[in-house]
Chains A and B, each alone.
Chain A
Amino acid sequence: MNHIFFILGIALFLNASPSSAETPEEKGLAIALEDDKRDNGYQDFTANLLMILKNRQGEESSRSIKNKTLEVEGDGDKSLSIFDKPRDVKGTTLLNFTHKVGTDDQWLYLPALKRVKRISSSNKSGSFMGSEFAYEDVTSQEVEKYTYKWIRDEEYQGEKCFVFERYPVYKNSGYTRQVIWLDQKDYKILRIEFYDRKNSSLKTLTQTDFKLYLGKYWYPHKMFMENHQTGKSTLLTWSDYEFRTGLSDKDFNKNSLKRTR
């Protein structure tokens, strides 16, 4: 913890005096902290998401999921992912407590048996529902989960961007590094390139159709993940975002896991 406060202190200091000489690592962290700061305070949201999975032959299959997320002060978010389609897994629900430090807590509800099962969250690099998104891509992104390094500034799709790298510090990640394109005005993540454990190019995520919520938060509505090694892709489309719906801790326990639809 002290270590984090120390880094935070440096970052705040650097933010306050941008002219001082900062290393690429310090600049990378400062960007991530600013991004996190801009993301804070949304309290909670609900949204629907549709995943279209496409294989190398172009065959498609889809999944639809409802999501509820609660911001937790001082720790990672709590979330519920409720599967709606395909119908044979309807009602299957994942409860996730993200932690800034250490492993996340996860429970899975299996509606046919009415069973709540504690599951291991160490499967970070595993596929989320057969898609090209890994669990580590869809769970809450916390500053503490990576170290950072600023690479360069460049124009990307007409927006002035920071290009920086982040390196997972948690165990069992499928990545050595991620290269991120973040627009300097609104701090929208426009593109992430993922490199596997052997540092070969694995996947590229492009995020588009951003909308502004509560006058402050930019959320992408389309997230397209392309796997360069398998030729498969997943398009994730978000809809029906609702913020500050009044969700509380009570909506994210094992009881609510059993009843949420």
Chain B
Amino acid sequence: MPAFESLARRVILPLLIAISLSVTASFTHAHEFTGFVGGEARLFPNSALHIGQEDDSASLMIQPEYYHEFESGSSFTFAPFYRLDSADPERTHFDIRELTFLWLKEDFELRLGVRKVFWGTTEILHLVDIINQTDLVENVDTEDKLGQPMANISFARDWGTFDLYWLPYFRERTFVGKGGRLRGATVVDTDRTQYESGAKEWHSDWAFRYSHFFGDWDIGLSQFIGTSREPTLLDGTDSEGNAVKIPKYEQIKQTSLDVSFVTGEWLWKGEALYRTGQGNDDYFAWTGGFEYTFTRVWRSQMDLGIIGEWMFDTRENDANTAFENDLGGGLRLALNDAASTEALFGWVQDLNSSARFLFLEASRRFGDHLLLTVEFRTFINQPADDFLFEQRDDEILQLELAYYF
């Protein structure tokens, strides 16, 4: 984290200023300044289980975005992010979500800078998505990502799209600190991070992806070679001798496939990966399932979607994931009203134990600019050996109100 901030100060900000100056000097086509600012309250009905944790928390966040498009179609985007949190200094953090120059040519697209890339098709677990590091302090759903510095060249042809990524700098995962909820009993000490590679965070990672669609099928075939985004957590002590978890990032190779198939109201999805280098054993993991949508249910404008997905990891209980053999289900309701009211209710059942995880995510717009988002998550029957056992009392109700401009 400190390394990235110094990188930001020394390299990215001067670069940004230089680009902005050249932008204002050149012929301008389109400028856009958008983004959001918001507040969030996190309420935990059960008192904190671990020493140092505060019960509830409040925070403020902002993510402005500047976008400029040149006459040629090439563009520049800058989106910084900042959160201020009342309970956890680790959750108070700054990140550059995007700082990209896109060079659009007839034959290729070249992107230089910091950005986010998503791979995958499933809803509950994003298994094959690997380019960006998870910004875990933001949300346990792992959908928030840190900006990844990269050079990406993309060739779109009749036979499909081929992408090559060079990832010259690694971003460490963020972890909840002492004051925060939704963590294990022992905090992760990101000052003691270890790397398998001597180059540490400056190891050059590479990725390739081929993606295309054939009628009702969409497929993506990807290869990643480099620093694992998922750390192995080792037992250790901090400078004062307290027990901590030390993240270790290994060198891995991952081959993955993601597919989706649409037929009528049915969407079938699947993701699978084979990874070597993480821990002692190579492993397979896959997830897949369906989404079926009933339109205009109960003679209204509402749509009701049903989601079913299965998640499996050949490491079973040794996996550093909560989804080693789990079945997930969800109901997605879209009111299709002027306020774009939506709700997603889901549950994930561990097939090897009684552990269960329930969540509800709902949102509604007020006026033209305000969006209220409500999230509820609860953990039920976590056995002592479960990945989420130490978070068993972290049932959470999260309210977020954001102003979009």
Contacts and interface: CB of A to CB of B under 8 A. Distances in A.
Interface of A: 53, 55, 59, 61-62, 85-90, 103, 105, 113-123, 125-127, 130, 171-172, 174, 250, 253-256, 259, 261
Nearest to B368: A86
A253 B118 contact: no
A87 B34 contact: yes
Given A122-B264, A126-B296, A115 B118 contact: yes
A253 B337 CA distance: 30
20 contacts: A86-B365, A86-B404, A88-B402, A89-B340, A105-B215, A105-B216, A115-B118, A118-B260, A119-B262, A120-B266, A123-B303, A125-B296, A126-B303, A127-B336, A171-B264, A174-B296, A254-B156, A254-B161, A259-B75, A261-B67
Contacts of A89: 340
A251 to B, nearest CB: 9
B156 A105 contact: no
Contact of A90 (B215, B336, B365, B404): B404
B154 interface: yes
Contacts of A171: 264
Given A118-B218, A120-B267, A123-B295, A90 B34 contact: yes
Contacts of A55: 338
Interface of B: 30, 32, 34, 36, 67, 69, 75, 102, 104, 109, 115-118, 120-121, 143, 154, 156, 161, 211, 213, 215-216, 218, 260, 262, 264-267, 293, 295-296, 301, 303, 336-340, 365, 368-369, 371, 402, 404-405
Given A88-B365, A88-B402, A255-B156, A120 B338 contact: no
Contacts of A61: 338-339, 368
B401 to A, nearest CB: 11
B405 A105 contact: no
Contacts of B213: 105, 118, 254
Nearest to B267: A120
Contacts of B116: 114
Query: Which interface residue of B34, B117, B156, B295 has the most chain A CB atoms within 10 A?
Result: B295
Contact of A255 (B36, B161, B266): B161
Contacts of A119: 262, 267
